[in-house]
Amino acid sequence: MNITFPDKKAGSYFNEHFINVIIDGESTEGDILAARYNIQSYPSLFVIDEKGKVITGTSGFHTPSALIQFGKSAISNFN
């Protein structure tokens, strides 16, 4: 059961600070992105800049608080 992304605090944090996109890894688009970003497992989460460069990423399950911490760390990597 996915409890992280629907979590109100995690969802609010990511909606406020990021443009969020969900892509089905088993779709054609998912196959293209998996090859481009060398995705090895799901779920995978990447923070990507406006030029398509991966700033940071993570994979696997994260609690809502751990996901928010990941987002805060990602923001600090932009500075």
Mean pLDDT of 49-59: 91
User: Is residue 54 in a domain?
Assistant: yes
User: Is residue 32 in a domain?
Assistant: yes
User: Is residue 23 in a domain?
Assistant: yes
* CA pair distance 29, 17, nearest whole angstrom: 24
Q: Into how many domains does the chain fold?
A: 1
User: Is residue 74 in a domain?
Assistant: yes
Mean pLDDT of 5-31: 91
pLDDT at residue number 3: 64
Note down the domain range covering 64: 8-78
Residue 2's pLDDT band, with cuts at 50, 70 and 90, is: low
CATH of the domain at 38: 3.40.30.10
What is this structure's pTM?
Answer: 0.82
Q: Is the pLDDT reported for residue 70 higher than 50?
A: yes
Q: Is the pLDDT reported for residue 1 higher than 50?
A: no
User: Is residue 69 in a domain?
Assistant: yes
